[in-house]
Amino acid sequence: MEVHDVELVMSAVDPKQYPTTGQPEIALVGRSNVGKSSLTNVLINRNSYARTSSQPGKTQTLNFYHVEDQLYFVDVPGYGYAKVSKAEREKWGQMIETYLTSRETLRGVISLVDGRHAPTQDDQQMYTWLSYYDIPTLVVATKMDKIAGAKWNKQLSVVKKTLEMKSQDDLLAFSAQTKVGKDEVWQWIEAHAFGGKA
């Protein structure tokens, strides 16, 4: 999809604030600082629409981006940020869990992992959890510009193995810097948001 029009509809904490158009939603999850906002910006062709920062834990609410008046990207606050208090982490967990398990318009989740390393325990937990709830999930290994091309395949196998993924079909390499993988991510999104009819 070539994106021309995008609007930040809502930074929501409470389900009452979620959009009501009934259009499909694709959520982005991953550790704090992994690159969720950066991926969002690449997908919507904007340099800094979704706020990125070198300071982890900045995004605290569900941010709904309305894309081409057709679907929403939902930028989910990052997990695994150590400096966040236990109470805050529990509040986060509840908000995300409620959203991911009960949102009827949710069509899929993009789970980002840092392509430079093996997925962390938090990443594994998130992936296991999404699989348990049968939520269609695309794993995106990001920051791939930081590792040599010759190591990509090996690194992707590490990701697949660590997450115990059944196949590599739903695993992609991506870089917000070079934009490699952008078209493939979009293909997955369109197939899942519109059932391949977009």
Ligand X SMILES: Nc1nc2c(ncn2[C@@H]2O[C@H](COP(=O)(O)OP(=O)(O)OP(=O)(O)O)[C@@H](O)[C@H]2O)c(=O)[nH]1
Q: Which residues bind Mg ion (CB under 5 A)?
A: 36-37, 59
User: Which of the choices Mg ion, ligand X, none does residue 145 contact, using the CB cut-off of 5 to 8 A by kind?
Assistant: ligand X
Q: Which single residue is written with the structure tokens 């069509």?
A: 107
Residue 58 as a binder of ligand X (CB under 6 A): the answer is: yes
- Residue 1 corresponds to which tokens in the numbers above? 């999809």
Beta carbon nearer to ligand X, 55 or 121: 55
Angstrom distances, CA of residue 86 to CA of 29, 81, 83, 92, 188: 19, 11, 9, 10, 35
Cβ at position 191, least distance to ligand X in Å: 23
Cβ at position 197, least distance to ligand X in Å: 30
Residue 143 as a binder of ligand X (CB under 6 A): the answer is: yes
Q: Name the segment binding ligand X (CB under 6 A); options: 34-42, 98-106, 151-159, 181-189.
A: 34-42
Contact set for ligand X, span 173-192 (CB under 6 A): 175-177
Residue 139 zone, left/alpha/beta (φ > 0; ψ -120 to 50; rest): beta
Beta carbon nearer to ligand X, 155 or 175: 175
Distance CA 73, CA 86 (A): 27
Task: Tell me how crowded residue 13 is: count the other CB atoms within 10 A of its CB.
Answer: 13
